[in-house]
Amino acid sequence: MTPDILLLAGPTASGKTALSLHAAQALSGEIVNADSMQVYAGLDVIAAGPGAQERAAAPHHLFAEIDPGERCSAGRWARLALERIKDITARGRTAILVGGTGLYFKSLTEGLAPVPDIPEAVNAEIDTLYDRGGLEALRAEAEAADPAYAARIKAGDRQRLMRVIAVKRATGRPLSELQAETHPLIDPARWRGVVIQPPRDTLYARIEARFDAMMEAGALDEARALAARGLDPALPAMKAVGLPPLLAHLSGETDLEWALELAKRDSRRYAKRQFTWFSNQHPGWARIESLDPGDQRAELARILTSEFGAR
């Protein structure tokens, strides 16, 4: 069976957008977003989404489709992505999922616990718990709610602690119990995975240069438009890498120069976390280790020829 789904992952600024277009041309494919920030409208520049010229070169799906005032969980994204994959492959085309959110890829290849979207009231309760008691309060309740899962959460991982508590409060069942009921959402025979994993120092230099370019392209204007909406800072879109320092500058908390330094630092740290995730979670995926665009295209072409029969 020839695969009809390509999963193309990698850290921020690693060249995923350009390679996805190359893959779309080689495989008669359509591109589906697998980045947790590019799914939100109003973050085209800050989240480094594809531009108008890139979107015109191939069909794109799930980019800038959700209002930043909403939450797009991995479960919600997976349901939307599966709809797009079914439509694309039913027309005899290849679905090319591209992004840097490892959990999104994992949701498709390994499945997600059958957890409904968490009510906003529950999320608000847990935010209050954290505001009043900090990480210690979260850890204590997570251990009471799901000791098996809580034992696997590293110290300081606030988001995962909050997730454990939210699932128990919303469903009455431990997350670890629900996860035991998971199964892959896409047939393993239908997909192949590729990770872009270039040298870190080279990538970090590109990240810094790209953020300067993003500022010239209107990143501060995007931040200003979001600030004007008065959205809850706890919303996922408001935590987009690079956005909080710009918001802090706009509110008068810091000068622009320091905000840019913080944004670049946060981007480097995010890339480091992505490296760790892809190394640990997807060790068997094909690797592209160069950051040079020409070398990347050549490496991808070899993979596509081997795995998809592309010419």
Residues 256-299 have pLDDT tens digits of: 999 999 999 999 999 999 999 999 889 999 999 999 999 999 99
Please determine, for residue 203, whether its predicted confidence score (pLDDT) is greater than 90: yes
Element (H, E) at 6: strand 5-9
State if pTM tops 0.85: no
Please determine, for residue 1, whether its predicted confidence score (pLDDT) is greater than 80: no
Question: Which residue in the block uniquely carries the two structure tokens 């670049």?
Answer: 264
Q: How far apart are CA 162 and CA 53, in angstroms?
A: 40
Report pLDDT for 151: 93
Burial 164-193 (b: 16+ CB within 10 A, else e): bbbbbbbbebbbbebbeeeeebbeeeebbb
Q: How far apart are CA 299 and CA 242, in angstroms?
A: 31
Q: How far apart are CA 108 and CA 208, in angstroms?
A: 32
State how far the alpha carbon of 227 is from the alpha carbons of 7, 71, 145, 220, 251, in Å.
34, 17, 36, 10, 9
Question: Tens of pLDDT along 88-108?
Answer: 999 999 999 999 999 999 999
Q: Which of 55-64, 145-154, 207-216, 248-257 has the lowest mean pLDDT?
A: 145-154
Domains in the chain, ordered, with CATH?
5-111+191-308 (3.40.50.300), 120-179 (1.10.20.140)
For the record, the structure tokens of 6 come out as 């390509």
Q: State percent of the chain over pLDDT 90.
A: 87
- 3-state DSSP call for residue 89? helix
Q: How far apart are CA 38 and CA 296, in angstroms?
A: 23
Report pLDDT for 186: 96
Q: How would residue 311 be classed by pLDDT, with cut points 50, 70 and 90?
A: low
Mean pLDDT of the chain: 94
Please determine, for residue 112, whether its predicted confidence score (pLDDT) is greater than 90: no
State how far the alpha carbon of 229 is from the alpha carbons of 63, 90, 157, 224, 244, in Å.
21, 40, 29, 9, 15
Q: How far apart are CA 68 and CA 211, in angstroms?
A: 21
Q: How far apart are CA 248 and CA 225, in angstroms?
A: 14
- 3-state DSSP call for residue 5? strand
Under 8 Å between Cβ of 158 and 135: yes
Element (H, E) at 132: helix 120-145
Q: How far apart are CA 178 and CA 175, in angstroms?
A: 5
Question: Tens of pLDDT along 157-187?
Answer: 888 899 999 999 999 999 988 888 888 999 9
Report pLDDT for 122: 92
Q: How far apart are CA 106 and CA 64, in angstroms?
A: 22
Q: What is the DSSP letter of 28?
A: T
- 3-state DSSP call for residue 302? helix
Under 8 Å between Cβ of 125 and 61: no
Q: How far apart are CA 22 and CA 308, in angstroms?
A: 14
